[in-house]
Amino acid sequence: MKQFLLILTIFGFMLISCEGTKTAEEYYTQSELDRNAKNIKSSLENLENVINRYPDHSLAPKAQYLIGDIYMNDLRDFEAAVTAYSLVVENYKESADAPKAQFMIGYIYANPQFGEIQDLDKAKLTYEIFLENFPNHELAPSVQFEMENLGKDINEIPVLKHISS
């Protein structure tokens, strides 16, 4: 009987430990599936698992960026989005996601549709940092455009005027 209990206990521990053996790719893929199914909490948990369990994996910066995207687009929590994007810039500055995250921070601060978080001074500073750190990035022209039109109404921007009419 003791031997049976010992085997059962060992088997139980093996089952529990197997639960945590997902790869970074599996967590990331599950996060995307959860997001598509509108299971946002689970999606965020899977992304956090990528970051916490595999911090040096190539998916870690993508996971952190996606957290910002979820907060911005799914949850409409713009402060949390800025925080998440800031972590991409701070922790993964060499990744391809860092310039996109830097742009998104400026974009959120620059645009009135993001409510109380709009701050044109922070937007300008964020965009200046972008141009300093990523002057040749494909988003640099967009950053220049944003800076030139910071605080302007859509009707004051000739190239966009047709959108509001």
DSSP secondary structure, 40-75, as one string: HHHHHHHHHHHHHH-TTSTHHHHHHHHHHHIIIIIS
Following CA atoms 149, 152, 156, 158 in sequence, which dihedral angle do they give, to the nearest 10 degrees?
A: 20
Band of the pLDDT at 16, cuts 50, 70, 90? very low
Comparing 162 with 11, the larger pLDDT belongs to 162
Examine the pLDDT at 11 and tell me if it is beyond 70: no
Read off the pLDDT of residues 24-34 as tens digits, 9 standing for 90 and up: 999 999 999 99
| pTM: predicted TM-score of the whole model, two decimal places | 0.83
Examine the pLDDT at 38 and tell me if it is beyond 70: yes
Select 22-164's CATH number: 3.40.630.10, 1.25.40.10, 3.60.70.12, 3.10.28.10. Answer: 1.25.40.10
Query: At which residue do the structure tokens 């199914």 appear?
Result: 37
Average pLDDT over residues 136-165: 84
Examine the pLDDT at 15 and tell me if it is beyond 60: no
- What pLDDT is recorded for position 97? 98
Band of the pLDDT at 61, cuts 50, 70, 90? very high
- What rounded mean pLDDT belongs to the chain? 88
Residue 25, phi-psi category: left (phi > 0), alpha (psi -120 to 50), beta (remainder) = alpha
- What pLDDT is recorded for position 6? 46
DSSP tag of 165: -
